[in-house]
Amino acid sequence: MSMSHNQMAYAAIVSTLIFGSLFVGTTGFFQTSEGAGDYDSAVDDDLIGSGTDPTASTDSDNDGLPDRLEAQFGTDPNDEDTDKDGMLDGWEVQNGLNPLDNGESDDSENDPTDANSEDAEIQEETDSWPDPDDGPSGDPDRDGLINSVEQALGTDPMRADTDNDGLNDKWESQYSYEEITPAGNVTLFDPLSGNWGCLLLDAGTIQIMRDHFDGNDGRPEWDSLANPSGQHSCDMVLDTDSDGLANIEEEEYGTNPTLKDSDGDLLDDIV
């Protein structure tokens, strides 16, 4: 069965990601652990080739994808957006999207068959081409944010909760604001930061929230909400509008964590 050039290019991307992840998975521990497997730590290694060979890390179009990898993925090293979908090739590759697929069919201005993939390793794949989730209006993580917005925000298009604070990226981005305190300022509901152990969690607040998250009536226990370091996310556990609902509960109900009365019915959200 013959394959078109665009299918071959896509096969190159798929095979590269698969073999790359396998390599990292089997060797990453030894490369980053001192004394393990007789490998030196990779922390100080020149991983992108910027040492002896300056051309190895050249990025002619400044898209975040070095030229040597552009050839590997079949993208254009002189075009930051090969598939003309408004998203940088490097960002797409880094986040698991196909830089040759703009998610739209019958695109007269962009032809993925122009990609140079003659040396690509071909493997069976069932993904359709084009895939709407690879385009700017796609939402592969189903968090309500399309890919073009995820790129603008810096969030991960493959994860609905980029900062692992238990809150949906779109929900957080809608309510992000800066809390100003004498001890310093905190940006709450930043989808890129869970504000783990932030200064707003003083001893008194922690005790209030510990009493709230008591494991009763469907509420989780306080300790179960901590990260592996034992810290809690201010974005998750605080009750920023003092309506009796913690932020994680506001997210669950779809209410506004900055307003006691989200729907304007003169009743607090908790009622």
Please indicate, yes or no, whether residues 180 and 62 belong to a single structural domain of this protein.
no
Cis omega before residue 257 (within 30°)?
no
Please indicate, yes or no, whether residues 94 and 13 belong to a single structural domain of this protein.
yes
In a domain, 225, yes or no: yes
pLDDT digits (tens, 9 = 90+) for 147-157: 999 999 999 99
Please indicate, yes or no, whether residues 146 and 210 belong to a single structural domain of this protein.
no
Residue 24: predicted pLDDT: 36
Of 233, 6, 242, 44, the residue nearest 130 (C-alpha):
6
Most confident of 35-49, 73-87, 97-111: 73-87
Q: Across the strands, what pairs with 185?
A: 180
Please indicate, yes or no, whether residues 12 and 110 belong to a single structural domain of this protein.
yes
CA distances to 36, 56, 85, 90, 196 from 59, in Å? 34, 9, 20, 10, 35
In a domain, 21, yes or no: yes
Q: Which of 153, 188, 212 lies at the terminal end of a domain, its last residue?
A: 153
- State the average pLDDT over residues 204-231: 96
Owning domain of residue 13: 5-153
- State the average pLDDT over residues 163-171: 97
Instruction: Indicate whether 160 pLDDT > 90.
Output: yes
b/e sequence 231-251, b meaning 16+ C-beta within 10 Å: ebbbbbbbbbbebebbbbbbb
Domains in the chain, number: 2
Please indicate, yes or no, whether residues 196 and 105 belong to a single structural domain of this protein.
no
Please indicate, yes or no, whether residues 15 and 140 belong to a single structural domain of this protein.
yes
Residue 57: predicted pLDDT: 83
Residue 271: predicted pLDDT: 85
